[in-house]
Amino acid sequence: MPKNNRLYRSPIFAAVTATIIMFVFGASHRAFTNRLTNSTSVSSMSPDALEKLPLQIGDWTGQEKPLDEAIIEATDTDAHISRQYSRHNTSEHVFLYIAAGQRARDLMPHRPEVCYTGAGWTRVGSDAKKLLLEDGKELPCNVFQFSKGALNTKNVIILDYYIVDEQLCRDISLMRSKIWRGSGTIEYVAQVQIVTDITTDRTADVAFKIVSNFARESAKSIFQVLESAASTKNQDAEHLSSNDSPGDFAGDK
């Protein structure tokens, strides 16, 4: 099998795809629906905003691994990327999935502890972590281990975190607190999932080191891309607003 097609046969891609399908077609709880609907700005992030994330991050080289377009459209978030990153001259690889937008209600149900178990995976373990970044900041995240199957058991490690209006957080608690403070308080929300598989040659500890190393090295680039996208979105919104102002009409000269 060609090397660049291996991910489609791996537990990583199968796991992420299954959970997104579960989110789209099976997740029934949409907490705080009314508040979530009213708590976002009217402008949207550009669909290609996240594509500006570099394919080369340190020693990691990325390759696009698109998910089914129907699934992406059904999630109803603004921007997505789906990639595999591999470290040069090693067997280390991760699957990176990022979804971002203003409608927090579309991301709240899409959590590993909800979607993976709903898609038939068993949670073997979970832990709250804080990773130290190069700039001295801490990256709070949740790390999950899931397994599936009996005879041919698949095992994956997932590192999951959120960015809410420039703030890093490990779960949806920050979204909840901002939502309850009133409408219009969320500019953007992004969920980052970094996944790798556990194999006979790769223990859970080694898999954790792989996802955590990539998380540390990619965090700055992800943050910058989201900030740039949010800035562009706001500028576009201001431009539209100024074009719609009464002074733009010919009769107002």
Which pLDDT value is given to residue 246? 47
Are 181 and 175 a contacting pair, CB within 8 Å? no
49 token code pair: 């905003």
- Nearest-angstrom CA–CA distance, 63 and 222: 16
- Please list, in sequence order, all residues whose beta carbon lies within 8 angstroms of the beta carbon of residue 34, skipping any fewer than 6 positions away: none
The 8-class DSSP code of residue 3 comes to: G
Q: What is the pLDDT of residues 202-228, one digit of tens each?
A: 999 999 999 999 999 999 999 999 999
Q: What is the pLDDT of residues 77-124, one digit of tens each?
A: 788 899 999 998 888 999 999 988 876 555 655 678 888 888 889 999
Q: List the domain boundaries for the chain.
A: 3-238
Q: Give the predicted TM-score (pTM) of the model.
A: 0.76
| Element at 17 (helix H, strand E) | helix 11-25
